[in-house]
Amino acid sequence: MKITVSINIGGYSFNIDEDAYAELKRYLKSLEIHFAEEESSSEILSDIEARMAELFRARLAGYKQVITMEDVTEIIAVMGNPEDFSDNEGPTRKEKFVTPGAHRMYRDPDRRIIGGVCAGMGAYWDMEPWVIRGIFIVMAMAGGLGIPVYLILYAVLPEARTTAQKIEMKGDPVNIHNIKESVKKEVETVRKKMNL
Amino acid sequence: MDLENTKAQMRKGILEYCILSILSKNSCYASDIIRELKEAKVIVVEGTLYPLLTRQKNAGLLSYRWEESQQGPPRKYYELTDDGRTFLTDLDSSWDELVDSVNLIRKK
C-alpha cells in the first residue's frame, strides 16, 4: 500500500505515488535551475510540463490509474536530464554555476532561534550554532555588548534564501550537482515533516 | 576523442535547421515536431527541443497560435514567420554548400 498525491501538470490532474512525486519534483526543480538564466524560462518549463502530461496520459491507458516511480523514471529518460541538453551557446552549465571559493556569511533561516545570525555563523565556520549562541549570551550578560553586536550582524548579513546561497553559506562549490543534492534533502525534510 | 560526443555535437548543429524545415511544410504542434525528429534520429532527449523553439520564437523566426484539442487543453501550433522563411532559404543554401565541401574532401 502506498499514499498517493494529487497533482496538476499542464492542465491535467494525476494521482501519483508519493515517492514518484518526490522524484518528479526533484526533476522539475533541476530543469528550473537549468533554464533559470534563459529568456522566457517559464514558457519553456510549461511547454515541457505539457509534453510530460501527454506522456503520462499515454501511460495511464486502461485500468492503470496511478503514476508510479517507474513511469516517472521512464519519462525523465525520454525528456532527458539537464546535463543531456547542455546547449551550444556560451560556457557549459557546469562552468556557469561554479563560483570558485564562494564562501559567504549569511543568516540561516532553517536553523534560527531569533534571527539566524548564530546559525549562519555556525554554518560558515562549520561549528555548532549553540557554541556561538553561548558566546553571545556571555557577551550580553557581561557588559551587554552581545546585544548590539547581534543587532548589527542581523542588519548586515543577508538571509540565505536560495539554494545557491545556502550552499555558499557552507562553502561548497555551487554547481548543479550540489543544488540537486540539497533540493533532494529539502524534499526529504518536507516529507518527514508531513509524516509521509 | 569520444565518438558519442562528436555525434551529439553534429546533431546539435543541425537540429535548429531541421526544426525550421519541418515547420516550412506545415504548422505543427511540438509533439508532431518531436515525432519527425525522432524518426529522422536527429534528437535523443525531448527536452532539447523546447528551449530551441522558444529561442527561435523570440528571434522572430517562428510564431505560434493556440488551437483547441479534443483530447485535452489547447495546443500550441508553431509556424514559420516571413523572417523564418528567409532564414531557412539561407540555411538551405549553406547546407548544400556544406555537403558539397564535405563530399569534395571525402572523395579526394
Q: Grid cell 498517493 — which residue? A: A4
Is the pLDDT confidence value at B97 over 90?
A: yes
Q: How far apart are CA A153 and CA A118, in angstroms?
A: 9
HSE, CB side, 13 Å, CA atoms: give it for residue A128: 4
- Give the span between the Cα atoms of A157 and A2, in whole angstroms: 44
Dist. CA A164–CA A183, nearest whole Å? 10
Q: Which of B81-90 are b and which e, b meaning 16 or more Cβ less than 10 Å from the residue's Cβ?
A: beebeebbee
Compute the nearest-CA separation of B60 from chain A (Å): 14
Distance from CA of A192 to the nearest CA of B (A): 31
Residue B44's contacts (CB-CB under 8 Å, 6 or more residues apart) are A80, A84, B8, B11
Residue B5 has pLDDT above 60, yes or no: yes
Task: Name residues whose C-beta falls within 8 Å of residue B96's C-beta, 6 or more positions apart in sequence.
Answer: none
Q: What is the pLDDT of residues B19-61, one digit of tens each?
A: 999 999 999 989 999 999 999 988 888 998 999 999 999 999 9
* Choice among A52-61, A145-154, A163-172, B15-24 with the minimum mean pLDDT: A163-172
pLDDT band at residue A39 under the 50/70/90 scheme? confident
pLDDT confidence tier of residue A5, bands split at 50, 70 and 90: very high
Cell of residue A77, nine digits: 529518460
Quote the pLDDT of residue B91.
93
Residues of chain A with C-beta less than 8 angstroms from the C-beta of B30: 47, 50-51
Share of chain B above pLDDT 70, in %: 99
Q: How far is B55 from chain A (nearest CA, A)?
A: 8
Compute the average pLDDT of residues A14-39: 91
**Does residue A145 have a pLDDT over 90?**
no
In chain A, what are the domain boundaries?
4-85, 86-174
- What is the third-level CATH fold of B3-107? Arc Repressor Mutant, subunit A (1.10.10)
pLDDT of residue A174: 64
- For residue A17, give the C-alpha cell: 505515488
Q: CA nearest B12 in A: which residue?
A: A88
Whether chain A has a CB inside 8 Å of the CB on B47: the answer is yes
Better-scored residue on pLDDT, B6 or B16:
B16
What is the arithmetic mean of pLDDT over A127-142?
90
DSSP collapsed to 3 states, B67-87: EEECCEEEEEEEEECHHHHHH
CA distance B101 to chain A (A): 23
Q: Shortest CA distance to B10 belongs to which of B55, B46, B42, B56? A: B42
- Chain A residues within an 8 Å CB radius of B76: 47, 50
Query: What pLDDT shows up at residue A111?
Result: 87
- Chain B CB within 8 Å of residue A11 CB: yes
Domain extent listing, chain B: 3-107
* Short-list A118, A127, A133, A120, CA closest to A159: A120
Q: Which residues contact A154 (CB under 8 A, 6 or more apart)?
A: A107, A115, A117
d(CA A157, CA A30): 28
Element (H, E) at A192: helix A176-193
B54 with A54: Cβ contact below 8 A: no
Check CB contact under 8 Å for B13 and A79. no
The chain-wide mean pLDDT, for chain A, equals: 83
User: pLDDT band for position B94 (50/70/90)?
Assistant: very high
Average pLDDT of A173-190?
74
Residue A85 confidence (pLDDT) above 80: no
What interface predicted TM-score (ipTM) does this complex get?
Answer: 0.85
